[in-house]
Amino acid sequence: MALPGPAATSFFVQRLTAHRHFWRSSAIGSVLEPVLFLAAMGLTLGGLVDRGPGVPGGVGYLAFLAPGLLVAAAMQTATGESSYPVLGALKWDRLYEAVLATPARPADVLAGHLLYVAFRVTTSAAAFLVVLVLFGAAASPLVVLALPVALLTGLAFAAPVSAMAARLEEDAAFAALQRFLIVPMFLFSGTFFPVTQLPVVLEWTAYATPLWHGVALARDLALGTAEAGSALLHVGYLALWTAAGTWLAARTLQRRLVR
């Protein structure tokens, strides 16, 4: 398989240029929404939780929730940027075909696209991280390492979702993806409560999701309880999803764009 070349950077720059026109509204989605969740659930509901039975381990609910929301938001942003935009660029506005009229090849298109998703996830997560620290939700300075974890989790979703989008002819499957995979992961993969509270089957399903690994690692870092062994396992699992997704997406794009 061909590796991406310098043309990938040109395509990345093209995506950034397009982004200039709607960065305000996309910032609302990727930064303001998690901040609102943090305020409603972390601060106010957190007050009730901390007075009630609370989170195991004596951790305040805000400190428990915040790193989870950071990573969950990265998943949402990455999925959003890899579903409709990829299918749209293939089918509706034919952006990828236009790019292929330049020296860029499908591998460059994919690399440029993933670079752009990485940019979106990193900037949104960085903004949210600042808010998180201002809310007093960070217990350890290692919380800054939650940023690369959010990025890696974002890519672990962006790559397979791009591969899926590159196969589709219609967008109806995105509604199913959102409602039957992304929303359940958001709600059940440890963001809002420990997965050990779930029935055993669901608990093990949660361990299989990339989101749980991202959330668990980011939380360990933010609380200062990270260990090298489990951290390596989380990173490895997320990298596996990223690599497999990228390979699938590259193969699918190559077949669809070069006939």
Residue range at the interface with another protein (CB under 8 A); choices 7-15, 28-36, 119-127, 130-138: 28-36
Identify whether the C-beta of residue 211 lies closer than 8 Å to the C-beta of residue 126.
no
| 198 near another protein, rule: CB under 8 A | yes
The tally of CA atoms less than 13 A away on the side-chain side of residue 252 is 21
Residue range at the interface with another protein (CB under 8 A); choices 27-35, 115-123, 225-233, 250-258: 27-35
CB of 194 to another protein, least distance (A): 8
| 208 near another protein, rule: CB under 8 A | no
| 93 near another protein, rule: CB under 8 A | no
* Residue whose pair of structure tokens reads 């992961």 in the numeric block: 185
CB of 198 to another protein, least distance (A): 7
| 25 near another protein, rule: CB under 8 A | yes
CB of 204 to another protein, least distance (A): 16
Identify whether the C-beta of residue 226 lies closer than 8 Å to the C-beta of residue 232.
no
Rounded to 10°, the helix 228-257/106-134 angle is 140
CA distance 77 to 155: 10
Query: Token digits for 62?
Result: 């805000």
| 2 near another protein, rule: CB under 8 A | no
CB nearer to another protein: give 41 or 253.
Answer: 41
Query: Could you tell me how far CA 71 lies from the centroid of its own chain?
Result: 6
| 9 near another protein, rule: CB under 8 A | no
* Residue whose pair of structure tokens reads 């609380």 in the numeric block: 223
* Residue whose pair of structure tokens reads 């699938």 in the numeric block: 248
**Closest by CA position to 194, among listed 54, 47, 36, 51:** 54
CA distance 93 to 143: 40
| 91 near another protein, rule: CB under 8 A | no
Per-residue contact string for residues 47-76; x = within reach of another protein by CB under 8 A:
xxx--xxxx-----x---------------
| Binding to another protein, residues 138-197 (CB under 8 A) | 172, 175-176, 179-180, 183-184, 187-188, 192-193, 197
CB nearer to another protein: give 51 or 259.
Answer: 51
Residue 32's identity, in one-letter code, is L
The helix/strand/coil state of 17 is helix
Query: Token digits for 199?
Result: 């029935």
**Positions in the binding site for another protein (CB under 8 A):** 22, 25-26, 28-29, 32-33, 36-37, 39-41, 44-45, 47-49, 52-55, 61, 172, 175-176, 179-180, 183-184, 187-188, 192-193, 197-198
